[in-house]
Amino acid sequence: MSVQNSLMIEGDIAEVGMFKGGSAYLICKVKGDKGLHLFDTYEGLPETEEIDNRYFKGEFAASLEEVKHTLRDCQNVYFYKGLFPATATPVKNTKFSFVHLDVDIYKSTLECLKFFYPRMNRGGIIISHDYFFADGVRQAFHEFFTDKPEPIIPISGNQCLIVKI
């Protein structure tokens, strides 16, 4: 499953947690005219909890300028600096076809799922990085999807995905 699989689904694309913008660049190469909304603190990870024992505050920091430089040739890209979901107000009425999460920690993952899940169009895809590696990410997914019909599908590369039913 990839961005290409979601192109036939109506809605924009989002990524939360971009580091230097490498995956956002790959998304740009296949997204067509869809809008790409990019959320990051651009200051590294926020406060972590005990379950996030692999990570620490400030890890994975990259500047907004660095990411913009990486994506300088991309169109319909929108940047939101700060802690998600506080920065999501501009897209609160937007529907999505594809969301990539790479936020590494429990609270951020749970907040992203709470925000994006109700805004996903049927057939839309949420992919998360670090599902097998980060206990907090895995716990947030299992906690959130306990009462939802979508199965959590493990995929190669340390990721998981759900397809909105």
**What are the structural domains of the chain?**
3-163 (3.40.50.150)
Q: What share of the chain in percent tops pLDDT 70?
A: 99
pLDDT of 159 > 60? The answer is yes
**What does the pLDDT read at residue 139?**
97
67: helix, strand or coil? helix
Structure tokens belonging to residue 3: 């961005």
Greater pLDDT, 44 or 93? 93
Structure tokens belonging to residue 119: 């805004």
Given phi > 0 = left and psi -120 to 50 = alpha, else beta, which region is 133?
alpha
Helices (H), the chain: 3-6, 22-30, 64-70, 106-116, 135-144
Q: What share of the chain in percent tops pLDDT 90?
A: 81
Quick one: how far is CA 38 from the chain centroid?
A: 8
61: helix, strand or coil? coil
For 107-121, how does the pLDDT look when each residue is reduced to its tens digit (9 = 90+)? 999 999 999 999 999
Q: pTM here?
A: 0.94
pLDDT of 52 > 80? The answer is yes
**What does the pLDDT read at residue 2?**
75
**What does the pLDDT read at residue 40?**
95
**What does the pLDDT read at residue 3?**
87
DSSP state of 146: G
- What whole-number distance in Å separates Cα of residue 119 and Cα of residue 92? 8
* Element containing residue 137 per DSSP (H, E): helix 135-144
Q: Share the mean pLDDT of the chain.
A: 94
R_g of the chain computed on alpha carbons: 15
> pLDDT band at residue 1, thresholds of 50, 70 and 90?
very low
